[in-house]
Amino acid sequence: MLLALIVFAALLVCAAAFFLLVAWKVSGMILHPRVFAYDAVVDEEIKRGHFTREWFDANVRLTEFTLRSDFGYDLHLAVWPSDQPPFADGRKRVAVLVHGFTYALLGQIKYASMFHTLGFDCVLYDHRNHGLSGKSTTTMGLNEAKDLAQVCAWARERYGEDAVLGTLGGSMGAATVMLHAKDDHNLAFAVEDCGFSDFYALLGYVLPHRFRLPALPTLPLVNLFCRLRAGVSLRQIRPVDALKYCSHVPMLFVHGDADELIPYHMMQACFGAKAGEKETWLVPGARHAGSYRADPQGYFAHLTGFLKKHGVI
């Protein structure tokens, strides 16, 4: 009997140690992810079939600089200026492009190319802890939304307060766009592509489906470590709540019906929560962050139609 109790206690200790170690590791993957090297992103985009090296070298002209974040690090920005004639009303059209988790601003060139064709000036930037921006903990959109607010403020200073400005983000960038939109009442439009509704719930889905780990007790432990290491509760990261206060901005929701990372029902939850003008486009066969690749012509057509409908162009 005593031996059985000792064995049982040893197993409990081993299990506890295992889950603590796993949770620490997962929290580190969230807060300090291994990101793409900035110089490797264009090659990755070419490999994914988004454009060719010849097209990129011939067409993309970026002016790069830094902007000091209120959090104390430098944000790396790039501007792709329009080469089109001015709009009839004399107001600049500006698109701010927001990349996803582990990527960099060059990953948004495919989206920027659509806006550029329509006559927009495009502003791209690297999130904190990504690309060439300064190091800080990644917060899956929570503090990134405040950096986005600074980028938008810079763009309005650059292009004029009357500039017609909107945002587009993918994945974590989409969460950032949604979280930011509730506080920016001068946004002309927003596009969220494959964003999540609730990061804590998403992690509860990802742990068993992607990592074969039980959500309990892993998820609460991951959240605990994120709070201890960065002061961030994953329960706070809920774009679905922010959307209740976004009646002032028309929003386009894009999601692939084959998204293997962020389930489609999260887009449905976001769409349902969004107050005011909204549209949705479910892309057949598109995996996570793959809607443009699955149907670039369809993406351009839906984006153009959305912008025309809401008087942006």
pLDDT digits (tens, 9 = 90+) for 87-113: 999 999 999 999 999 999 999 999 999
CA atoms lying within 13 Å on the CB side of residue 33: 18
pLDDT at 282 over 90: yes
| pLDDT band for position 265 (cuts 50, 70, 90) | very high
DSSP characters over 15-77 = HHHHHHHHHHHHHHHHHS-----GGGHHHHHHHTTS--HHHHHHH---EEEEEE-TTSSEEEE
Quick check: 192 and 178 in contact, CB under 8 A?
Answer: yes
| pLDDT band for position 19 (cuts 50, 70, 90) | confident
pLDDT digits (tens, 9 = 90+) for 220-248: 999 999 999 999 999 999 999 999 999 99
pLDDT at 57 over 80: yes
Quick check: 145 and 113 in contact, CB under 8 A?
Answer: no
Q: Which residues are 65's β-sheet partners? A: 77
Residue position matching structure tokens 């002016």: 63
Of 8-12, 38-42, 187-191, give the lowest mean pLDDT range: 8-12
Look at residue 6 in the predicted model and tell me its pLDDT: 67
CA 255 to chain CA centroid, nearest Å = 13
* Joined tokens for residue 26: 């997962």
Residue 224's alpha-carbon distances to 221, 227, 228, in angstroms, are 5, 5, 6
pLDDT at 4 over 70: no
* Joined tokens for residue 47: 């490999």
CA 55 to chain CA centroid, nearest Å = 25
User: Which runs of consecutive H residues, i.e. helices, occur in the chain?
Assistant: 2-31, 41-47, 53-59, 109-117, 144-159, 172-181, 199-210, 215-230, 239-242, 264-273, 291-294, 296-309
Mean pLDDT, rounded, for 110-124: 98
Look at residue 5 in the predicted model and tell me its pLDDT: 63
Averaged pLDDT of the chain: 95
Look at residue 9 in the predicted model and tell me its pLDDT: 54
Residue 76 sits at φ, ψ, to 5 deg, of -90, 120
pLDDT at 7 over 60: no
What is the rounded distance in angstroms from the CA atom of residue 161 to the CA atom of residue 158? Answer: 9
pLDDT digits (tens, 9 = 90+) for 131-168: 999 999 999 999 999 999 999 999 999 999 999 999 99
Question: Could you give the percent of the chain with pLDDT greater than 70?
Answer: 96
Of 7-16, 26-35, 53-62, give the lowest mean pLDDT range: 7-16
Question: Could you give the percent of the chain with pLDDT greater than 90?
Answer: 93
Q: What is the dihedral of CA 258, 261, 266, 268, to 10 degrees?
A: -10
What is the rounded distance in angstroms from the CA atom of residue 101 to the CA atom of residue 30? Answer: 9
CA 108 to chain CA centroid, nearest Å = 10
pLDDT at 17 over 90: no
pLDDT at 12 over 80: no
pLDDT at 8 over 70: no
Model pTM?
0.95
